[in-house]
Structure 1
């Protein structure tokens, strides 16, 4: 049987539908043996036809008939509803959760690997780590040490072939070493033969002798020759050298070494400007710039040469001549400017520069007078010439001539008027007014001249008053004339002129200007607010006279404005005298008799000046104008009580309770009885007052304090309880009731009262502070700190609580706590005072003083800040510092803050002045 050939299919023709490798998923490919581009595989139609011949079902393409605008898939026809969205969110959350779990595992594995790597590196560190300290040490190696490091040799222990270029070394004989040693020595003695010949033998000719004097002369000649070669003659004078014979060596220190970039820039600039002056030789800025480039490069000779050519090409340019004068020395500059005035004789700058080059006053005058011959209409030259005169008579002559030549120069007219006598000055100003009718400076100068004459010492009061009225008339006439000549200055310009007059000492002229112009450009309904703004602006600049003049004019227009009179009184109180203040207040109460505050200020000033009868008279007039005024009655009572008239004060209080039946008068009556030690009468007065005013909290406070003074704690507790029932929103009543319980040894009851108070009055810092104080006094520091933390949450911007929080911190943490307190409390004065005390504790005296000053400036009414500052000055300040604090505190008259009020309202301190209260407060503060 014949053997079947297994490779017969290779010679057979392939079926029509055969595709090589189709069964393995191939659809046409090429191999490396193929030459040319890869063949494309069979198309989709061919594949489909072959599959049909083999009986295979053709699978339709799922995306063949798909609309790209519609969704595909199993749920293509469904609607995406809310439950679908919820399911998607759940799946997303599950994916995130799984990812977080895997991430946690990865973090653990990474941490374990990092720890293992760190342990391995600790046992076997890298070479880089081992030599890190040595590499850091290389930073301290100096250049000399680096150069002295030996070269690395051959350490391989192998026999190295000798480099033929290195050569060999041999031992040197001693004779050569000795000869080399003696070669540089000098012989300073002569042998017998040389002494006979008078010198040394020359090597060439043993019979010749070297002359030492000739050698010295040759050396000097050589040095002189070198200096002459370095010397460069000037381009103009040719008589001097650029080498300083005294400092030519030390002057090398001023040589500027330029970089290659700078040299390149100079070369490019030189080429540009050289092209510029060649293309446009009449362009003077080009010559100046070219000379400046050479000057910057250090080539002064070239710069002078260029500027000289510029002067020749542009003889009418004053800038070129001035630059040439600047580049030369003083003598050469004079010659250059002398040539310049021949070409540019009308240049003021050249004449002024020529004058400045002269050192003699006579020479300066000669130059300036020569300049005036060429330019007689230059104000600058006239002013310069006049300023050189030392004699007033000569200056007067020059000014007289100047105003004839320049009649429109206001400066020259004013200068002439200042030098003349008052009578002649008036004539000068009249001439100036006719010559320059549009100048307001001349009218102002005329007003100042009139004021100066009126303020002479030999003037009597009546004549002085009449002449001062002429100042107002002069300024008014000036304003009218200026309007007639269509010269209208704005209000701001006139106010600026008034301030200028005040600054120069002419207060009456300042007032006249304000009086004549302050009403300009102001609507009738805006006059008061505009003038008040002018007053504030003037006070901000420190111009008190201008502010006083504006207020005076405003009060003439609005005499019944209480606010304007109050502002004027405050201005005089701060910057005026007591007499002017009393004058203002007397006018104020005449125009505003119903203003109680003005009557009280007037009476207080009379009292402070020591005029007690005058104060009584003022209050009597106030009673007539305001018969039912509570403040006036109380002021009268205080005046009599302070001056020891207790009977009169008591009688006044009785009449006040009848005429002006107010709650404050009843309260003051009870306080007066208590201060006199008449507790029974005081208690009777309080009970009567409570029947009329049961909701007045201070009456309940006084009643409880009277019972406490009498030692009747239960009655005091009852009084406070009644007050809390009638006035539950008054925090002071709650605090007094709590302190009464704490004083009676019932701290638990005190805590309960404060807790109830905080429920009734939320966000009250004083209640939280009192609760913290109760815990501290009971010994519960931890409880106090926790309570303070709650208080800060309830009142995050409370300065009182932040101050307590600072002191509760340990010493190292107080500074950081104070920074937080300043930020959270918006620079509260109590926190500022606490910061000052911290600096005090650290020994930083000046910083502490500055912060105490800042605390009192922020709130002048807080007495404890003044007390702390005074106590600080008592320990670290001088007598002047203590007196300064006491004076400022007396002027501020503080009334509030806990310790200050407790001292001021103590019955033993009744009637004491502010200075004593300050001293007692400083002693009590801890």
Structure 2
């Protein structure tokens, strides 16, 4: 104070203003402690807080809902009338707003105000007010000037809008239309027609899209594509938007660039192709490329003579899309590694066609002996003459390249030029088998022989030349029409040639294995030289085979060749084996089966004729030959075959019965009866007597059949079928006592024959004596304890007698299913069966027949689970598998049923029931081809 200057810190000793609250300016509020209880003072009032906020420049919180438009009020005062009190209140609010606006103008000079508060100077306060007023006036003046220069459209037409209040209705109606004032030629009014409803509906649905699939789309594999927000995607609009964006991009690229002033024309197709070629790389890929670039850079710098490093570095840059860098790298690689043809080829690949030609031309001085370089140079040429010129130039540098000679010969248009080139080639490269064989193929037959002889002398270790010679001789033998004798002589030369070739190869220590020779034979057959194939088999099939293993080995080789489809090879192997083992019936049958499957009737007849000549005692071969003649429709020839068979086998039961069948099938019943009489005299077997009785029964000669059976039973009392036929004849005549006596005699003579017991039981059942039928079956099970057929017949008796529950009980005893599935007490079952009766589990626990019946005895829902148990306990019995197939058939699962039928037949192809069910299935659900295959 002594110096006359005001003290800035004097306000600290001044008393606090009225209603001052410490810390309120920085947001603190008063609080009360325990010591303040009693004379504790109250907190600041709302007015005090508002005044403090005003001093700090903060605006009080205003509720936006408290100043509602009176015309649009809602809530408590909604719908009230605007009265004089309301108008007075609005005026008061306007005055308050003006005062607040004045206060806001003053706040625009906040820095000066804060400075004034700090200094508490009246002069500064007046200066502040003066500055604020002048600034506000200047702003108002500038705003008025701006509004005068650029008035709003609303202000420009304000007077006109006010003048519209004086326009009358008549003047308003006479205002002309805007369209009438244009100078464009108006279109004449055209006639209008009623639009059909179909057009309207079609136009309405044109922009719509389906949000559901119809039945046809669902069956054809349609699908829905719901979006995440539940909306359906309009794929049509998406496609249109995509096309529009692509069109805009093409227009932008193909338009004129305003920045550079250059016009760029782009082919849309080429642009699309370039878009496809653009590869977008992720950050990870870019990082990998950078690291790989560093590695390759270090590699080529540390070892610049390493060609693969340059190639890898160039391919990395190519992958990264930097073709210029890749070409620079590969050029450096060519400079560093000029002796590597890989580098030159990579450089040619990275450049265009013309540049690649130059690169390969530069490579020739360095790697002129590289065949790949010359072939790549020839591939770059599109003209045949240019290619031929390049290849001939390459032969000057590399005359001993077989590949270059072959490529050059392939480009020759005429056979004469090719022949000339090959003649020169074999002179330059005499050890090339391919060139010799190619030259032989182009020469005439006579010259080809000379060529092959030269080749054989030049390359005595080549088996291909000997095989080619054999094929050439075979082609000459079939080239023209010749007598069979002459052709056979020429074909014998083929055998001699191959045999001589094998001998010469052995002399020169060239030992091919049997497998290699067999492959060569198969190749000759596939290329149309069956006689050469046969000659190779004759000369080599006995190699490396022990004498005792020859038959099995050759049969195995024939089966393998037939499985591959090489029928000629298999036929040649069997022919050679038959020459070595002419008396083996199995070989002749195998050869006959091969001819029946892949040959003709003449070839089959020839094989069988040779077979019966070498094996006259083989009844099967005679019967096969006679049957083939009969099937071919030549019945007299079949009779002749059987007559010859009688001479070779006078006591053969099968031949006599085959002759009887042949005569009976062709209507010669008298001859058949005479043959049976002679057969009973000559052969005199039980089967012939049985067939005689059956023949007389079929012809209606019942008395003769019974007499024949009586005579036969005296000779063969242990033959059960004679008792069966006798009992069935009496049963068909309703002579139940005689039939019962016949079956009883048969059971006494043959107690182990299950069929006799079953026929006797059915006889009693037919006579209405079901109890006696059950008793017979019980006795039969005692005599044959492990027979599932007897258990099945017992179940059938119960079913036919009307006792379904009893039938299920018997079936459960047969399969022991009550013990496993129905919790039937074991002690009670033992009491019911008796101590001497065995249970089904002991008799036939794995019977497929009984388990199949058990499956069908179950209700429909339980059959599937029961079939699973049946498969497990019967060890996949074919009858159970057939039952499963029938279950799939019932459920209309056609393919699965067919597969299970095939499995059942594979398990046991001799069960006729399976074939019958499968045939019925194919007739119902299969094709004619599948029916024929099963039948």
Measured against the shorter chain, the TM-score band is 0.5 to 0.7
Tell me which of 625, 634, 639 is aligned to 1:602: 625
Q: Indicate the residue corresponding to 1:335 in structure 2.
A: 358
Q: Indicate the residue corresponding to 1:867 in structure 2.
A: 916
Q: Indicate the residue corresponding to 2:488 in structure 1.
A: 465
How far apart in 2 are the matches of 1:463 and 1:278? 77
Q: Indicate the residue corresponding to 1:489 in structure 2.
A: 512
How far apart in 2 are the matches of 1:764 and 1:163? 114
Q: Indicate the residue corresponding to 1:580 in structure 2.
A: 603
How far apart in 2 are the matches of 1:218 and 1:292? 32
What is the CA-CA distance between 1:178 and the residue it aligns to? 12
What is the CA-CA distance between 1:515 and the residue it aligns to? 0.8
Tell me which of 392, 395, 417 is aligned to 1:369: 392
Q: Indicate the residue corresponding to 1:800 in structure 2.
A: 849
Q: Does 1:317 align with 2:340?
A: yes
Q: Does 1:410 align with 2:433?
A: yes
TM-score (norm 1): 0.67
How far apart in 2 are the matches of 1:819 and 1:404? 77
What is the CA-CA distance between 1:862 and the residue it aligns to? 3.7
Q: Indicate the residue corresponding to 2:693 in structure 1.
A: 670
Q: Indicate the residue corresponding to 1:141 in structure 2.
A: none
Q: Does 1:437 align with 2:460?
A: yes
Tell me which of 758, 774, 780 is aligned to 1:735: 758
Q: Indicate the residue corresponding to 1:286 in structure 2.
A: 309
Q: Secondary structure at the match of 1:220?
A: coil
Is the 2:256–2:262 contact (alpha carbons within 8 Å) kept by the matching residues of 1? no
Tell me which of 220, 225, 238 is aligned to 2:256: 220
How far apart in 2 are the matches of 1:349 and 1:276? 26
Cα deviations across residues 774-828 of structure 1 (Å, max 9, x unaligned)? Answer: 3333333344344434434544544434443443444455455555555555555
Q: Indicate the residue corresponding to 2:730 in structure 1.
A: 707
Q: Indicate the residue corresponding to 1:357 in structure 2.
A: 380
Q: Indicate the residue corresponding to 1:509 in structure 2.
A: 532
Q: Does the C-alpha gap of structure 1 residues 384 and 627 become closer, same or farther in structure 2, counting only changes over 3 Å?
A: same
How far apart in 2 are the matches of 1:871 and 1:653? 37
The worse-fitting range, judged by mean Cα deviation, of 685-694 and 314-323 is 685-694
Q: Indicate the residue corresponding to 2:655 in structure 1.
A: 632
Q: Secondary structure at the match of 1:779?
A: coil
What is the CA-CA distance between 1:447 and the residue it aligns to? 0.8
Q: Secondary structure at the match of 2:256?
A: helix
How far apart in 2 are the matches of 1:414 and 1:218? 61
Q: CA RMSD in A?
A: 3.6
Q: Indicate the residue corresponding to 1:752 in structure 2.
A: 775
Q: Indicate the residue corresponding to 1:262 in structure 2.
A: 285
Q: Does 1:642 align with 2:665?
A: yes
For 1:817-856, what aligned pairs fall within 5 Å after superposition? 817-818=866-867, 821=870, 825=874, 828-849=877-898, 851-852=900-901, 855-856=904-905
What is the CA-CA distance between 1:868 and the residue it aligns to? 3.4
How far apart in 1 are the matches of 2:253 and 2:417? 63
Q: Indicate the residue corresponding to 2:409 in structure 1.
A: 386
For 1:537-576, what aligned pairs fall within 5 Å after superposition? 537-576=560-599
Is the 2:255–2:263 contact (alpha carbons within 8 Å) kept by the matching residues of 1? no
TM-score (norm 2): 0.67
Q: Does 1:526 align with 2:549?
A: yes
What is the CA-CA distance between 1:474 and the residue it aligns to? 1.0
How far apart in 2 are the matches of 1:301 and 1:870? 74
Q: Does the C-alpha gap of structure 1 residues 217 and 339 become closer, same or farther in structure 2, counting only changes over 3 Å?
A: closer
How far apart in 1 are the matches of 2:754 and 2:872? 27
What is the CA-CA distance between 1:765 and the residue it aligns to? 3.1
For 1:196-275, what aligned pairs fall within 5 Å after superposition? 220-222=256-258, 224=260, 247=270, 251-252=274-275, 255-275=278-298
Q: Does the C-alpha gap of structure 1 residues 816 and 508 become closer, same or farther in structure 2, counting only changes over 3 Å?
A: farther
How far apart in 1 are the matches of 2:361 and 2:805? 94
How far apart in 1 are the matches of 2:847 and 2:742? 31
Cα deviations across residues 710-756 of structure 1 (Å, max 9, x unaligned)? Answer: 21122212222222222222222222222222222223333333333
Q: Does 1:446 align with 2:469?
A: yes
How far apart in 2 are the matches of 1:167 and 1:312? 82
What is the CA-CA distance between 1:392 and the residue it aligns to? 3.1
Q: Indicate the residue corresponding to 2:478 in structure 1.
A: 455
Is the 2:310–2:333 contact (alpha carbons within 8 Å) kept by the matching residues of 1? yes
How far apart in 1 are the matches of 2:860 and 2:325? 73
How far apart in 2 are the matches of 1:482 and 1:574? 37
What is the CA-CA distance between 1:853 and the residue it aligns to? 5.2
Q: Secondary structure at the match of 2:476?
A: helix
Is the 2:334–2:343 contact (alpha carbons within 8 Å) kept by the matching residues of 1? yes
What is the CA-CA distance between 1:851 and the residue it aligns to? 4.8
What is the CA-CA distance between 1:444 and the residue it aligns to? 0.8
How far apart in 2 are the matches of 1:869 and 1:291? 67
Cα deviations across residues 655-679 of structure 1 (Å, max 9, x unaligned)? Answer: 2222222211111111111111111
What is the CA-CA distance between 1:848 and the residue it aligns to? 4.4
How far apart in 2 are the matches of 1:631 and 1:332? 87
How far apart in 2 are the matches of 1:610 and 1:736? 40
Q: Does 1:591 align with 2:627?
A: no
Q: Does the C-alpha gap of structure 1 residues 424 and 676 become closer, same or farther in structure 2, counting only changes over 3 Å?
A: same
Q: Does 1:697 align with 2:733?
A: no
What is the CA-CA distance between 1:567 and the residue it aligns to? 1.6
Q: Secondary structure at the match of 1:695?
A: coil
How far apart in 1 are the matches of 2:451 and 2:60? 104
| Runs (4+) off by over 6 Å | 161-173, 175-181, 216-219, 225-228, 243-246
How far apart in 1 are the matches of 2:272 and 2:260? 15
Is the 2:689–2:709 contact (alpha carbons within 8 Å) kept by the matching residues of 1? yes
Cα deviations across residues 286-315 of structure 1 (Å, max 9, x unaligned)? Answer: 111222222333333222221111111001
Q: Does the C-alpha gap of structure 1 residues 536 and 218 become closer, same or farther in structure 2, counting only changes over 3 Å?
A: closer
Q: Does the C-alpha gap of structure 1 residues 814 and 163 become closer, same or farther in structure 2, counting only changes over 3 Å?
A: farther
Q: Does the C-alpha gap of structure 1 residues 250 and 614 become closer, same or farther in structure 2, counting only changes over 3 Å?
A: closer
Cα deviations across residues 622-672 of structure 1 (Å, max 9, x unaligned)? Answer: 222222222222222222222222222222222222222221111111111
Cα deviations across residues 367-416 of structure 1 (Å, max 9, x unaligned)? Answer: 22222222121111122222233433333332222222222111111122
Aligned residue-pair number: 678
How far apart in 1 are the matches of 2:432 and 2:57? 97
Q: Secondary structure at the match of 1:585?
A: helix
The worse-fitting range, judged by mean Cα deviation, of 862-871 and 521-530 is 862-871
Unmatched segments (≥5 aa) in structure 1? 1-160, 182-215, 229-240, 890-926
How far apart in 1 are the matches of 2:885 and 2:503? 59
Q: Indicate the residue corresponding to 1:276 in structure 2.
A: 299
Tell me which of 664, 675, 682 is aligned to 1:659: 682
Q: Which structure has the greater CA radius of gyration? A: 2
How far apart in 1 are the matches of 2:786 and 2:392? 84
Q: Indicate the residue corresponding to 1:899 in structure 2.
A: none
Q: Indicate the residue corresponding to 1:301 in structure 2.
A: 324
How far apart in 2 are the matches of 1:490 and 1:720? 67
The worse-fitting range, judged by mean Cα deviation, of 300-309 and 752-761 is 752-761
How far apart in 1 are the matches of 2:706 and 2:788? 32
How far apart in 2 are the matches of 1:397 and 1:165? 111
Q: Secondary structure at the match of 2:705?
A: helix
What is the CA-CA distance between 1:478 and the residue it aligns to? 0.9
